[in-house]
Amino acid sequence: MESSKLISDFIPLMRPSILEEDIAAVVKVLRSGMLVQGTEVDLLEQRLTHFFDTPSTMVANGTATLHLALVALGIGSGDEVIVPAFSYIATANVVELVGATPIFVDIDLRSYNIDVLKIEEKISSRTKAIIPVHEFGLACDISEIVRIATLRNIYVIEDAACALGSTVDGRPVGTFGTFGSFSFHPRKAITSGEGGALICDEKALIDSVRALRNHGIESVNNKQEFTKAGFNYRMTDFQAALLQSQLNRLEKILFMKNELAQVYFNEIQSQNILLPVVPDNKKHSWQTFHTLLADGIVRDLIITKLKSKGIGSNYGAQCIPAQKFYQEKYHLECEKLFPNALHAYNNGLAIPMYDGLSKEKISYVAKTLNNII
Ligand SMILES: *Cc1c(COP(=O)(O)O)cnc(C)c1O
């Protein structure tokens, strides 16, 4: 009885982990009367600063962190910023928001990350930064990207929105570039509903970000001055409390997701499903378990079939230059310029992955996939 009940429950692609202790932490702040960017945000910043061994600043969401990084670096009109052609659309939108031009680079289909061999040919005298993404929680070739960027005197802003807890040779992603950016949207490992963190060890830059997130206010000679036309990109204290509560079990969540990923690796047998590849020196945080369907398989039909079997699934990320805004503005021919990004966009399938899932449910998803593909 128990097992038939298990498989009759719909298995969503993702469900955030919210425990009673998280709820209690939020309620405590609500009762305090202090709601926005106060003690709890400070405490969370201290914990993340310790976690990364790099100064950390909390911001309203992941997109805002990237936006602030670009503004703090003075990137704007006339500048170019290199971004992968396959990511969540925010990675490129922020470049548009500051008036700069995103220059797209195709991805490597084994990692879904920016193809480092194709970066140098896209660097021009206008290039000011690269925003590499650690897509789905697997680190890109960040050391090589930093090497190229340093030689060409351009900044690296790591979009680690999906990659809290991912490492390369034991070193956390986000700590390689000038800035590391994280999101705490409910699709990520731990969540505050909306939330972001920006890490950076250059004091002038982080001070600038801290002013910019709060209307441009900062302390000058012990006096509060509005030194910039800033934003309101503050995090609330109840979100910070929720995140602190979740941070307590980050390691457990990452461990559980890795266990579940192993079940997919062991049990997905279909030759028409390409499984992710994780190099030995990288720790994947499994924000998404992203597979690639063989040519000829209609992904959207598979999504519908899975849904009828009680399983949520979706495409993984967008081929950004193929989206309406970017097509109308730049008319880039994606089949020719970004074949891998387009293929991942059309044939990519993200399947359920979150720490509240049981191994039995993962097995059920794997069996169902084997049966229908
Ligand atoms: C989630 C995500 C973002 C945006 O984060 P938000 O907190 O939703 O603004 C940016 N880039 C990537 C790669 C993401 O996955």
Q: Return the SS3 of 230.
A: coil
Mutating to test ligand 1, I would choose from 14, 114, 138, 162 the residue with most ligand atoms within 8 A of its C-beta, which is 162
Report the distance separating Cα 102 and Cα 178, nearest Å.
Answer: 18
- Work out the burial of residue 13: count CB atoms within 10 Å of its CB; fewer than 13 is exposed, 13-18 middle, 19 or more buried: middle
Nearest Cα residue to 140 out of 84, 215, 224, 217: 84
- Tell me the torsion sign for CA atoms 204, 35, 355, 186: negative
User: Using CA positions, which residue lies closest to atom 2 of ligand 1?
Assistant: 161
State the distance from the centre of ligand 1 to the C-alpha of 29, rounded, in angstroms. Answer: 26
**Tell me, what's the pLDDT at 122?**
98
- Can you give the pLDDT at residue 2? 46
Q: How far apart, in whole angstroms, are the C-alpha atoms of residue 279 and residue 332?
A: 32
What's residue 8's pLDDT?
55
The structure tokens listed for 238 are 């109840």
Query: Domain coordinates of the chain in residue numbers?
Result: 2-12+250-372, 20-247
SS3 50: helix
Q: Which CATH fold topology does 20-247 show?
A: Aspartate Aminotransferase; domain 2 (3.40.640)
The pLDDT of residue 1 is: 43
| Ligand 1 atom at minimum distance from 188 CA | 1
In ligand 1, which atom is closest to the CA atom of 64? Answer: 9
Q: Phi first, then psi: what are they for 134, rounded to 5°?
A: -95, 80
**63, 70, 136, 138: residue to mutate for ligand 1 pocket, most atoms within 8 A of CB:** 63
- For residues 361 and 351, give the distance between their C-alpha atoms in angstroms, rounded to a whole number: 12
Predicted local distance difference test score (pLDDT) of residue 290: 98
Taking the C-alpha atoms of residue 78 and residue 235, their distance in angstroms, rounded to an integer, is: 31
What is the distance in A from the centroid of ligand 1 to the CA of 256? 22
Using a 6 Å cutoff on CB, does residue 316 contact ligand 1? no
Which atom of ligand 1 is nearest to 195's Cα?
A: 7
How far apart CA 307 and CA 329 sit, in angstroms, is: 35
- Write out the H or E segment, with its range, that includes residue 219: strand 217-220
- By DSSP bridging, strand 155-159 and strand 86-87 are unpaired
- Mapped onto helix, strand or coil, the DSSP state of residue 22 is helix
Which residue, 170, 187, 165, 177, is CA-closest to 354?
187
Residues in the chain, pLDDT under 50? 1-7
What is the largest distance, in Å, between two alpha-carbon atoms of the chain?
A: 70
| Backbone conformation region of residue 310, classed left if phi is above 0, alpha if psi is from -120 to 50, else beta | left
- Whether 159 is in the pocket of ligand 1, judged by its Cβ within 6 Å, is yes
Return the number of other C-beta atoms located less than 10 Å from residue 10's C-beta.
10
Q: b/e per residue, 102-115, with b = 16+ CB within 10 A?
A: bbbbbbbbebbbbb
Backbone phi, then psi, for 366, in 5-degree steps? -60, -45
- Ligand 1 contact, 133 CB (< 6 A): yes
| CATH H superfamily, domain 2-12+250-372 | Aspartate Aminotransferase, domain 1 (3.90.1150.10)
Q: Is 287 in the pocket of ligand 1 (CB under 6 A)?
A: no
For residues 39 and 241, give the distance between their C-alpha atoms in angstroms, rounded to a whole number: 9
Give me the phi and psi of 326, to 5 degrees please.
-75, -35
Provide the pLDDT for residue 89.
Answer: 98
Which residue's structure tokens are 């805002």? 64
173 Cβ below 6 A of ligand 1: no
The model's pLDDT over 231-284, given as tens digits with 9 standing for 90+, comes to: 999 999 999 999 999 999 999 999 999 999 999 999 999 999 999 999 999 999
The helix or strand, by DSSP H or E, that contains position 320, with its residue range, turns out to be none
183 CB less than 6 Å from ligand 1? Answer: yes
Going from the Cα of 133 to the center of ligand 1, the distance in angstroms, rounded, reads: 10
Phi, psi (rounded to 5 degrees) for 86: -120, 110
The CA distance from 131 to 179, in Å, is: 10
